[in-house]
Structure 1
Amino acid sequence: MTKGTTSFGKRHNKSHTTCRRCGKVSFHIQKSTCSSCGYPSKKMRQYNWGQKAKGRRTTGTGRMRYMKTMTRKFKNGFREGTQAKKQTA
């Protein structure tokens, strides 16, 4: 009938360790698969029922070195190598 302290005392075997792809402690040692990213599968693990999880690792969560300039360039029609005309009063 003990569901608390005595049961918790028996938990000393680790089934998961750090994943080399995502860095979470989600890599199952015996299965040798990550429960978070799906490593060693080539494709990243993601499901539509996990919208919040998708958002945590999608575009916009990093630096976006290329993408962050795209909105400005799109507004100007991706023009390059032109100079603004001089304003005359």
Structure 2
Amino acid sequence: MSKGTASFGKRRNKTHTLCVRCGRLSFHLQKSRCASCGFPSSRFRKYNWSVKAIRIKTTGTGRMRYLRHVAVRFKFNFREGTKAGPRKKRASSSSQASALWVGYEY
């Protein structure tokens, strides 16, 4: 049998389905392994011979729902459950700035 037109007619079974971890159509049903992320392995599938693939999938290319706020929390030493203290009222700088411009005429 050839690999051409006649063989394409027999291709009616799905080998891959959606992966629950990465969401791609790469989970092989008989192998029970994702070709994209390597699920069910605990580590993500990643090879250095494809630097572009690593760059596309790396942290920061998605929403970062949790990690986005970690830098701000780190700045204040991950404090929680505290209340913001009263802020001192400062002299308004806008009134001083407007007083400087009163004397000028163009």
TM-score category of the 2 structures, normalised to the smaller one:
0.5 to 0.7
- The residue type equivalent to 1:57 in the other structure is K
CA RMSD of aligned residues (A): 2.7
Q: Which moved more, 1:36-45 or 1:48-57?
A: 48-57
Q: Which has the larger radius of gyration?
A: 2
**Divergent runs of 4+, >4 A:** none
TM-score (norm 1): 0.67
Q: In structure 2, what is the Cα distance between the partners aligned to 1:32 and 1:2?
A: 29
Give the percent of matched residue pairs that are identical in Structure 1 and Structure 2: 61
Aligned partner of 2:24 in structure 1 is: 24
TM-score (norm 2): 0.57
Aligned partner of 2:44 in structure 1 is: 44
Matched pairs, number: 75
Higher helix share: 2
**Unpaired runs of 5+ in structure 1?**
71-77, 80-89
Higher relative contact order (CA 8 A, sep 6+): 1
